[in-house]
Structure 1
């Protein structure tokens, strides 16, 4: 379960990344050994030692191991040039990364064992080998190491498909090998199958991205658009993250693993829908304050809803201009076919949302709830449904399993990721 222990690349490919990022600093054998020991001890990277011992115990020729290492490290450190044969160097790495079993809480261990992926090695080898073949032309053209494609194939076929995949990814990143969107999606799927942290696949990968699509809704991490920005500003902690603008930027730039500009484009679309709607200004303000749980708040930056939306739009446009100067923001057609379905759910929940007559700021919340039907019918059912879910969560209202099932059905029809409902709403009550 690599993603439980690592946030990005790890093991031998992670060491290669560390070395290739230190191009202006001295790299000799003692420094590299110290970095390896630090990764194993301080970063608890047990996989580094395992990767090294897999190669040491294999029948791979030294020249093959040498080629794969040079490609992964972008030739920033070559033990052979320093007078060592590659296996002697690996043994020194192994010595500073001894085998060990990480102690875990019994409950944590039980959960990890239950979720740990099972992948047949032969099937995985065939899958990774196919991705090497698809990237072969780019690797041979860009990677300054002779025989890299054949060497990667040998690692996969004779040592370990997992290690071979990570060394393929690291070599492609080191030399900016172009990766098409279809291959990128497959690589992400393989990484997910092996329980990699997503960044181990996408970070620094030179992807030939598809055009920005503001209508996409299949974000795996749940919320997107205006509701996720509302979540950022919910509660007292947001000022500790940065300024108002910096908090907006944190959302607009959170494209990790997606087409750059994706989060900014859907946020901008939400903002444009409300900005140009016929909703009164005070209704727009109330909707934002309710979605962000700020109906008791006296901060001035979002006191006028439309002024606040224009500020958000400006940050979105600046980011989109940076990542794709040719992109022209558009507002995709509203999903009107689901308006009545969403409207029925909003109306059913209204009593629960407005039952706060004694609470400070209850008038703002009631105003927002009264405006939700107009958002659903006159603006966009998709945006209305997402704001509705966000307000339910901000109000800490639990829902029944029957309600959750209906919400998930709507979310599925709108194209949301599978965890959109569960990520937003409290646990169900029977």
Structure 2
């Protein structure tokens, strides 16, 4: 029978279970850590609704793993900051004491909650998971052997994965990588993140504290997992007058430029700066740039006391300054440059922009000619992204035929599937 897995992101906002306890202890390693203190921390986490802690401990206790394997894995996970052997006890006995502090099972959920979780519950066969996690451990073996000051950590982790539980083994592997700052490449990071997503982890379980060797910043990057990026997402953040509740315009620029956890430092700032530069250095008149921006933000009829974006180019200079400052902070070696314009797609994007002339929304018709200029004189990629954003802003229905063309263009430009998502309103009449 297939194993029933938990929807961890529903119950936890950070690492959890035995790996979560190990992370907490690592963070306290400058303080005194003896067995009574550690058991107090474990009891506190169990009382704070970490139902997985007891389950993890019992998984190891019920496994055939010898004490030396459990001891090795534990020392690697906590960076040797607490060693049961130094307290005169073996690792199994210590795990039994942890398990005794934890409820034997999670509390019952109400039927509605349980049904909702069943729809999101991951289905990952254990053997498939064992194979995937073991492959990542073996791939990281050289780094683990070089940096982790615990002999035999790689074979010990593999035995946990193969003889106890692959989910727990994966989390303890991640914790060892973090405890000893073992660097992983960007490709490895993406695989680890995908494994975590497949197990319904909160994303911080993988990326928080992980040392990643990021790829060089690329202003032409388009495969952002959270969909939109650059000027369109800034326009969404500053839409109408709603933005005033979230801070100043400069603070909103900073939020869009910030990369957020799990992304290469500077990645979002680099593409936002790329967009701003293209418009700043283009032959598109300043009045047209201002019209484009205020249309994209739904601010055509909004009168602000400071009119922060009344002059499109002055506003883009502010955007540029914030991005430059952010990039200088997170990646001082990065020298900003423009990515090549996608001129091969000019005609294809231009055809879609010209369809906007027929939109029912007057603001969309009013900015269509400016969008054409962006496509032909600036960059079809930027023109296409602004078109999608403006259609969404004004709720312009998009028929399935046109939506299909948009998907094809998005794929050619390298956008993630999330970029179109379900944001564009459907034209249920099927008009293309």
TM-score, normalising length from structure 1? 0.90
Q: Contact 2:17–2:53 at 8 Å: present in 1 too?
A: yes
SS state of the match for residue 29, structure 2?
A: coil
Change over 3 Å in CA distance of 1:97–1:243 after alignment to 2: farther
Change over 3 Å in CA distance of 1:54–1:334 after alignment to 2: same
Q: Which moved more, 1:75-84 or 1:320-329?
A: 75-84
1:39: which partner in 2? 45
Q: CA deviation at 1:166?
A: 1.0
Change over 3 Å in CA distance of 1:392–1:38 after alignment to 2: farther
**Matching of residue 373 in structure 1 with residue 380 in structure 2:** no
2:158: which partner in 1? 153
Matches within 5 A, 1:218-237: 218-237=223-242
**Matching of residue 346 in structure 1 with residue 353 in structure 2:** yes
Unaligned runs of 5+ in 2: 1-6
Task: Map Cα deviations across residues 35-72 of structure 1 (whole Å, 9 max, x no partner).
Answer: 43443443x33222221111111121222212212211
1:112 to 90, 114, 117: 117
Q: CA deviation at 1:184?
A: 2.1
Q: CA deviation at 1:270?
A: 0.6
1:72 to 77, 97, 110: 77
Q: Contact 2:217–2:334 at 8 Å: present in 1 too?
A: yes
Matches within 5 A, 1:115-130: 115-130=120-135
Q: Contact 1:255–1:263 at 8 Å: present in 2 too?
A: no
Matches within 5 A, 1:415-430: 415-426=414-425, 429-430=428-429
1:19: which partner in 2? 25
**Matching of residue 143 in structure 1 with residue 142 in structure 2:** no
Q: CA deviation at 1:138?
A: 1.2
C-alpha distance in structure 1 between counterparts of 2:257 and 2:267, whole Å: 8
Q: Which moved more, 1:336-345 or 1:236-245?
A: 236-245
Q: Contact 1:353–1:392 at 8 Å: present in 2 too?
A: no
Q: CA deviation at 1:26?
A: 4.5
Q: List 4+ stretches of structure 1 deviating above 6 A.
A: none
Number of residue equivalences = 421
C-alpha distance in structure 2 between counterparts of 1:4 and 1:410, whole Å: 35
2:68: which partner in 1? 63
Change over 3 Å in CA distance of 1:113–1:224 after alignment to 2: same
1:168: which partner in 2? 173
Q: Contact 1:287–1:371 at 8 Å: present in 2 too?
A: yes
Change over 3 Å in CA distance of 1:375–1:163 after alignment to 2: same
SS state of the match for residue 422, structure 1?
A: coil
Report the aligned-residue RMSD.
Answer: 2.3
C-alpha distance in structure 2 between counterparts of 1:213 and 1:427, whole Å: 33
1:309 to 316, 320, 326: 316
Change over 3 Å in CA distance of 1:398–1:23 after alignment to 2: farther
Task: Map Cα deviations across residues 271-295 of structure 1 (whole Å, 9 max, x no partner).
Answer: 1111111111121122222222222
Unaligned runs of 5+ in 1: 356-361
C-alpha distance in structure 2 between counterparts of 1:98 and 1:235, whole Å: 51
C-alpha distance in structure 2 between counterparts of 1:396 and 1:350, whole Å: 15
C-alpha distance in structure 1 between counterparts of 2:43 and 2:396, whole Å: 49
Q: CA deviation at 1:427?
A: 5.3
TM-score, normalising length from structure 2? 0.89
Change over 3 Å in CA distance of 1:154–1:228 after alignment to 2: same
Q: CA deviation at 1:152?
A: 0.7
